[in-house]
Amino acid sequence: MFELLNAHFKKHISLSSEEEEICMTMFRQKKYRKHQYILQEGEVCRYEIFILKGCTRSYEIGPNGQEHTLQFGLEGWWIGDLYSFFSGEPSSLNIDCLEATEVLQISKNDHEELYRKVPKIERYFRILIQNAYVAAMNRISSNLSMPAIERYREFIERYPDMEQRISNNQIASYLGITPQSLSRVRSQNQKKK
Amino acid sequence: MFELLNAHFKKHISLSSEEEEICMTMFRQKKYRKHQYILQEGEVCRYEIFILKGCTRSYEIGPNGQEHTLQFGLEGWWIGDLYSFFSGEPSSLNIDCLEATEVLQISKNDHEELYRKVPKIERYFRILIQNAYVAAMNRISSNLSMPAIERYREFIERYPDMEQRISNNQIASYLGITPQSLSRVRSQNQKKK
DNA sequence: CGAAAATTTGACATGACTCAACTGGAGTGG
DNA sequence: CCACTCCAGTTGAGTCATGTCAAATTTTCG
């Protein structure tokens, strides 16, 4: 059950087997049903969450009720609301399970204890956040420089497996366009092939 | 000359005076003129850069020649191209000085040596990147949910000092709209006051 | 002062949105 | 197995925000 997380650690740092042991004791497994909330707007995000199986979507609800998808999550990804987790402020995010989902989660206290007991882990998370930051900047860059159709092409090229599992509706809200616009843009895309 | 950086460290971690000493030996001061490049597209980003004085702009050049501003930098901010710095790949960013600018910079080797000699620094950078990531996600959220005029208002509210130092042209390229649109949007904004 | 850059303004084009209707499949209950 | 509902997806018509191109005006700075 910890293999996936362990393998993920080892991509970035090397751990002794005692350190592995310590890490593994800090996480708790949890299962969610399809359509169940992992986090709901207004709650404080109390966990960093690693997905073992399933698929999630993190989104905000805009003033006119539109949903704006900030992040999807699949097997081997970390999700949560980093701001809320560290600040203790209520989150403005909803995290929803698009499929039945299994996760490993760690609380803030355990997280800090883990940093103390296994300082290398601080490096792991630094690298992780660094990669997430780079990805976020790339997304901003795409938003600035490319029209909707090219962002769509980029999306399905970068995450080919997601196209199967996530509705176009939700991809549209990730790209920042309406489902209608995405539909039109896709049919134009077909014609050009 | 190191006071500003030192103060910045202390916001997030506490350092002994020996540790401070070590930190300070790792950085090199550098001065740039207005309009001088700190980093140019195609170069590898070899430094993490802390701004002591002045003002910078990081931007990419799109396929049609438009400039897309990803980040501004002011006194007390870190700039650079994190991706290029860590991967060693050529950068797609240009970093330009909008004013005469003084910085402290640290090379990748020195950066890693610093992590070894002063492990607490890893925590400092983790917190730093974490904050940058949260800011990037907020920017994505604004891009998804707000029209240009509100993004402009948010920008000048969050960075009131920048309005004085940065041309509207460049703010427009940060917001992802044309200078003409920003001009119109601003004159509407005036009327409503 | 004079050249170059930034800003503003106008006219028009276009991409994306809204509202609304329609289609087709998935699931549900009779 | 059929009738029904629900939801995602598609399509059409009209509107609005923003882009493009061009020109006028103002500001900056050598």
Phi then psi dihedrals of residue A136, to 5 deg: -65, -40
- Exposed, middle or buried, B1 (CB in 10 Å: 0-12/13-18/19+)? exposed
Domain assignment of residue B146, yes or no = no
* Position A152 in a domain: no
Spatial strand order in the sheet of A56-61:
A37-39, A94-97, A56-61, A67-73
- pTM beyond 0.75: the answer is yes
Per residue in A62-76, pLDDT (tens digit) is 877 889 999 999 999
Structural domain includes residue A142: no
pLDDT tens, position by position, A91-105: 999 999 999 999 999
Distance between the alpha carbon (CA) of A181 and the C1' atom of C19, Å: 14
In a domain, A26, yes or no: yes
Q: At what angle do helices A148-158 and A168-175 cross, to 10 degrees?
A: 120
Q: Is residue B52 assigned to a domain? A: yes
Sheet holding A101-107, edge to edge: A28-32, A101-107, A47-53, A78-79
Instruction: For residue A29, give its domain range.
Output: 3-120
Tens-level pLDDT at each residue, chain B (193 residues): 789 999 999 999 999 999 999 999 999 999 999 999 999 999 999 999 999 999 999 999 987 888 999 999 999 999 999 999 999 999 999 999 999 999 999 999 999 999 999 999 999 999 999 999 999 999 999 999 999 999 999 999 999 888 889 999 999 999 999 999 999 999 887 665 4
Residue nearest to nucleotide C19 (CA to C1'): A180
CATH number at residue B114: 2.60.120.10
Place of tokens 């169940």: A36
**Interface contact flag, B141 A60, Cβ < 8 Å:** yes
Q: Is the dihedral of CA B146, B152, B158, B159 positive or negative?
A: positive
In a domain, B92, yes or no: yes
Give the residue ranges with Cβ < 7 A from strand C.
A 64, 66, 147-149, 176-178, 180-181, 185; B 167-170, 179-180, 182-184, 186-187
Q: How far is the CA of A30 from the C1' of C19 (A)?
A: 43
Distance A150 CA to C13 C1' (A): 21
Residue A170 belongs to a domain: no
Q: Is residue A178 part of a domain?
A: no
User: How many distinct structural domains can be found in chain B?
Assistant: 1
**A180: Cβ under 7 Å from strand D?**
yes
DSSP for B40-84, please give it: -TTSB--EEEEEEES-EEEEEE-TTS-EEEEEEE-TT-EES-HHH
CB atoms within 10 A of CB B88: 11
Distance from CA of A172 to the nearest CA of B (A): 11
How close, in Å, is residue B25 to chain A by CA atoms? 23
